[in-house]
Structure 1
Amino acid sequence: MTVKTNAADIVAVSIMGQVANPSLSGLPAEPYRLDADGRAFLWPTFGGIVYNVSVGDSAFGWSGDCIHPGVSISHPDANKNRGLNVFACVGNEAMVVTGAAKGAKGVVTGKSGRFSDQVIVHFDEATRRKLAVDDRITVRSEGVGMVATDSPEVAFKSLSPALFDKLPKKMEDGVLKIGVVATVPPHMVGAGAGLTSEGGSLHMQSTDREELAKHRLDSLRLGDVVAIADTDSRYNHGYLRGAMSIGIVGQTDGPRAGYGPGMTIVMTAPAGQLGAYDAPGTNIADILELRA
């Protein structure tokens, strides 16, 4: 169905980042991390050009820690990177402007934050092979300030109007309901709680695999649309009974406690104005035709 928004009044503006190199802090000198059981591990993590993980693939099973599918971009200036991370919206068009892949187009599919303030962009595999670290990518930012005319209490976050129009949705008794693959219960909300909801990501807990399977979360794919129950993300992420948020899975699972698949929050409401219904297979890889 069509939900009327103020899309015609939203400002479209350019933002830019560079392909980010994976990084490790110099101190402590050991590059290892600890998994949920206290064992040291060293796996690839966020950043860089990931050649073999794409939107639509499983969010689980990779030998990596919170992997960003496709390409991660950031800006070397901290303030400008903040602008990039806040204003980029899932579904925005991106374009390579330097290097061997100049002119190639992609799509923003997620964000990560705090320790890895990066924007995640999908490019096809042929383009990824041409890209190099520090290649510049511009994004047509469009979506910040979006309002649904008949659902003014639903706050939109990091969502392009074009993608919102394509998401499965319906209005029932004044409640905007979004079609989702699964619902994350509040006790499974992990890293990101308490932080800003304008950028970055919110992770689900995945250490308890039985609980994960109980809620049909163990087969999530990158790009899946999910609901997060009793979670208010209007200004930051926190528990609020009756609230709901809608997220898009943007990062893979990892072995650390609290760092299951990362979600980019795209909608939220505090008191029943936003709902969800089962819509198996709802994934932006299909909605935006990102896979051959």
Structure 2
Amino acid sequence: MSIELNEADLVSVSVGGAIAHPGFPGLPAEPYRLAADGTPFLLPTFGGIVYNVSVGDRAFGWAADCIHPGVSIKGADDLKNRGLNVFSCLGNTAVVMTGQAQGAKGVVTGKSGRFSEQVIVHFPVEVRRKMAVGDQIVVRALGTGMEIRGHAAVACKGLSPSLLKALPKKVEDGVLKIGVVATVPAHLVGAGAGLTSEGGSLHIQTTDRAEVEKAGLSSLRLGDVVAIENTDSRYNHGYLRGALGIGIVGQTDGPRAGYGPGLTVIMTAPKGELGSFAAPGTNIATLLALEP
């Protein structure tokens, strides 16, 4: 179905960052983290260039802690990085400005970190092999301020017009419904709750594997479109009966309590104005025709 947007009024602006280096706390802190059962672990975590995990791959089963598929970028300081994280929208084009991959184009596919730390960008694997930590990337940001005509209560968050148009959707009894792979129950919403929804991510808690399986979430893939029930993300992420969010799986699972696949919330409404319907296989790798 077609929808009417205020697309002609939106401003396209450049925001940029460099490929971020994976990091650990400074010494004398240990590099180990604690799993939900108290076991210390040392696994690759978010940041850098990931060569063998891409949008469309499984979200579970990696020997990793909330890995980002593709490339993670970050602004030069907190103010610049905040601008990068807020204004970048899923589906925006990103261009490599320096290094051996200069001129290559990618696509923004997620945002990470409880405190809006990094933006996740997909590049084809062959491009990633030419890239280096520190390479500068510019995002052609477009989408902030987007409104859907006739659905004023539905807030768009970090969502580009191109991705919104590609999402499976329909209107029933005045409710805009989005096709999703699965629905995340409110009691599995973990890290990120209570924080701002202008950037960053909201995690699925996965310590209770039986509950994850019961909810039909164990086979999620990176890039899957999901609904998040009873969660209001207009300003901050929080529980609200009847609210609904739509998110994109942007990060892999991890062993820490309260964490799991990270979701980038792209739409939200507080009182039933936004709905969902089953659309198996709905993934941004296909919707945006991402090159492997």
* Structure-1-length-normalised TM-score: 0.99
> What is the percent sequence identity of the aligned residues?
70
1:173-232, Cα deviation, whole Å (9 max, x unpaired): 110000000000000000000000010000011111111111110000000000000000
Determine the C-alpha separation between the residues in 2 that align with 1:183 and 1:77: 36
Q: Secondary structure at the match of 2:129?
A: helix
Q: Is the 8 A contact 1:148 1:154 kept in 2?
A: yes
Conserved in 2, the CA contact under 8 Å of 1:46 and 1:116? Answer: no
Q: 5 Å matches for 1:1-292? A: 1-114=1-114, 117-292=117-292
The letter of the residue matching 1:118 is Q
Q: Is 2:82–2:116's contact at 8 Å kept on the other side of the alignment?
A: no
Is the 1:69–1:122 Cα contact (8 Å) retained in structure 2? yes
Residue type of the alignment partner of 1:148: I
Amino acid at match of 1:145: G
Using the TM superposition, give the Cα deviation of residue 143 of structure 1 relative to its aligned residue in structure 2, in angstroms. Answer: 0.5
- One-letter amino acid of the counterpart of residue 257, structure 2: A
Looking at structure 1, the residues matched to 233 and 116 of structure 2 have their Cα atoms a distance apart, in angstroms, of 20
Find the aligned partners of 1:116 and 1:173 in 2 and give their Cα distance.
Answer: 36
Runs of 4+ in structure 1 off by over 6 angstroms are none
Structure 2: distance between partners of 1:72 and 1:58: 18
Three-state SS of the structure 2 residue aligned to 1:49 is coil
Deviation at 1:27, TM superposition (A): 4.7
Q: Which runs of 5+ in 1 are unaligned?
A: none
User: 1:116, 1:169 → 2: CA distance?
Assistant: 28
State the alpha-carbon separation in 2 of the partners of residues 238 and 46 from structure 1.
Answer: 24
Q: Give the letter aligned to residue 17 of structure 1.
A: G
**Alpha carbons 1:96, 1:138 under 8 Å: kept:** yes
* Inter-partner Cα distance in structure 1 for 2:255 and 2:223: 20
TM-score w.r.t. the length of structure 2 is: 0.99
Structure 2 unaligned spans of 5+: none
1:219-267: per-residue Cα shift (whole Å, max 9, x none)? 0000000000000000000000000000000000000011110000000
Equivalent-residue separation in structure 2 for 1:163 and 1:8 (angstroms): 16
Counterpart residue type for residue 130 of structure 1: K
Q: Measure, in 1, the Cα distance between the counterparts of 2:29 and 2:243.
A: 42
**1:100-144 deviations in Å (ceiling 9; x for gaps):** 000000000000124560000000000000000000000000000
CA distance in structure 1 between the partners assigned to 2:151 and 2:120 by the alignment? 29
Give the superposition deviation at 1:291: 3.9
Query: How many residues are aligned here?
Result: 292
Larger deviation, residues 136-145 vs 23-32: 23-32
Q: Deviations over 1:30-85 (max 9, x none)?
A: 00000000000000000000000000000000000000000000012110000001
Q: How big is the alpha-carbon RMSD for the aligned residues of Structure 1 and Structure 2?
A: 0.9
Alpha carbons 1:101, 1:127 under 8 Å: kept = yes
SS of the aligned residue for 2:85 comes to: helix
Q: Distance in 1 between matches of 2:73 and 2:255?
A: 24
* Cα pair 2:34 2:40 within 8 Å, conserved: yes
